[in-house]
Structure 1
Amino acid sequence: MYGTEEQCFDALCRCRWPNGFSCSHCGHDKHCEIAYRKLKQCDRCRRQTSMTSRTIFDSTKLPLTTWFLGIFLITQDKQGISCMELARHRGISYNAAWRIKQKLVQVMMERDQGYKLSGIIELDDAHLGGERTGYKPGRGAKGKTPFVAAVETTKEGPPTRIKLSIIKGFRRSEISTWSKKYLFSGSTVISDSLPCFSAITEAGCVHDKIVCGGRRAFAEEPEFYWVNTVLGNLKSALRSSYHTIRPKYVQRYLAEFQYRFNRRFNLSALIPRLVYVSLRTPPMPEKLLKIRLA
């Protein structure tokens, strides 16, 4: 379906203008094509439009087939793919593969930003980053990145969606802000007895607190089966695919895992869906990609 430049270009056309061409400047639907430059020119205002302009593909010098293969590899492998492995697959430089990876994962992150969880939700605190010799262990350890893991489940049990969000720390103010942003009022949230989780009620949610004896006891509680399973799969995927992840990019890698998980029941639709969203995501030059994420 995406083996040649022409096929990829046609796929972009269908995704960008599913109802036919419409000029972004004047809205006119009649146009001519400047074939040798792959531009569409509006018949009314004469404005020329590039297929990739003002999208995540803006100003790219790489073939579209490289982008589409990158989309395929990133969306279909549940363990994720490193930038080095992506570079080997396409025979491009590491820096080019890094930009492809970070831009596509940025699209995933922005796409899921507005989604909220509802119903029965399992909640847990988690950290990324290993222990360091000579430093304090546990939650307050230096170099660890704290994040919230929430799993929306059905009454029958299986999970439907997840939300993985970095926070500044496990404090009431942080959990209150997070729950108001990502949880629907009236949801039932099940968590352990960490004091900050009581702030969930400020979002209009019912808080079901279960007192556990420790991390091992928490892992054995049936009420937390799915959130523990998700966290285990997440950390296994990160360990198997990446040697290291810089703290300022952690949210993108969490968003990548989250995006695939939330759409795991329809893998064949992942490629056109990600292409569709990529064409509606503003350009991300490298200097913006390297800014620390909140």
Structure 2
Amino acid sequence: MLTIFDKINIKEFTTFFNNEEKCLSFLAEEKWKNGYVCKSCGHDKYCAGKTPFSRRCTKCKKEESATANTMFHHCRIYLPDAFKLAHLVCTSPTISTAELSTTLNLRQMTCWNFKKKVTNCIDARQDVSDEGKIMLKEVIMGVRS
């Protein structure tokens, strides 16, 4: 699994995250890499949820999707496009929403809204490297705003 996204270009990134299943798989893997703990009751046992890559607590039956509590929660953009947008914003923070719109074939307002979400996650990060680089993985797993 890729862990450092700032060393790959957009073509490689797009090849790796080319469908929703790969994006959800990555989110689930990263989200629960240290084990699952229910946000409602604190129980650590789960079963598969109704939707792909979601988990359901076996105690309180609360279901949590892979996108819950990430910046992709309730994201209405096709997930691979949202991942690409996040990658573009992290690798070139000064990219305009017009450029994003043209590159991703999305409405400019859609790009503006999601770019704002990404930059809010970046601003909330405390662990920016010495060179000022942002780890996309850390931003992706950031708490939604």
Matches of 2:52 and 2:32 in 1, distance apart? Answer: 19
Structure 2 length normalisation: TM-score?
Answer: 0.76
Say which structure is richer in strand. 1
Match of 2:54 in 1: 39
* Equivalent residues in 2 for 1:66-81, closer than 5 Å: 66-77=81-92, 80-81=94-95
User: Given the superposition, is the C-alpha separation of residues 18 and 96 from structure 1 closer, same or farther in structure 2, using an over 3 Å criterion?
Assistant: same
Match of 2:30 in 1: 15
Structure 2 alignment gaps of length 5 or more: 1-15
Kindly state the Cα deviation for residue 83 of structure 1 after the two structures are TM-superposed: 0.9
Structure 1 alignment gaps of length 5 or more: 116-159, 162-260, 265-269, 285-294
Matches of 1:262 and 1:36 in 2, distance apart? Answer: 37
Summarize deviations over 1:1-20 as a string: whole Å, max 9, x none: 32221111111112211212
Please state whether the residue corresponding to 1:262 is helix, strand or coil.
coil
Asked if 1:84 is matched to 2:98, the reply is yes
8 Å CA contact 2:25–2:53 kept in 1: the answer is no
Q: Percent sequence identity over matched residues?
A: 24
Asked if 1:273 is matched to 2:127, the reply is no
Structure 1 length normalisation: TM-score?
Answer: 0.40
Match of 1:94 in 2: 108
Summarize deviations over 1:111-155 as a string: whole Å, max 9, x none: 14x88xxxxxxxxxxxxxxxxxxxxxxxxxxxxxxxxxxxxxxxx
Match of 2:123 in 1: 109
Counterpart amino acid of residue 48 in structure 1 = E
What count of residue pairs does the alignment treat as equivalent?
130
8 Å CA contact 2:67–2:73 kept in 1: the answer is yes
* Equivalent residues in 2 for 1:43-192, closer than 5 Å: 43-77=58-92, 80-112=94-126, 161=130
Matches of 1:102 and 1:44 in 2, distance apart? Answer: 37
Kindly state the Cα deviation for residue 44 of structure 1 after the two structures are TM-superposed: 0.9
Matches of 2:98 and 2:121 in 1, distance apart? Answer: 20
Asked if 1:2 is matched to 2:17, the reply is yes
8 Å CA contact 2:17–2:80 kept in 1: the answer is yes
Q: Which has the higher contact order (CA 8 A, sep 6+)?
A: 2
Matches of 1:35 and 1:3 in 2, distance apart? Answer: 23
Kindly state the Cα deviation for residue 37 of structure 1 after the two structures are TM-superposed: 6.2
Match of 1:263 in 2: 133
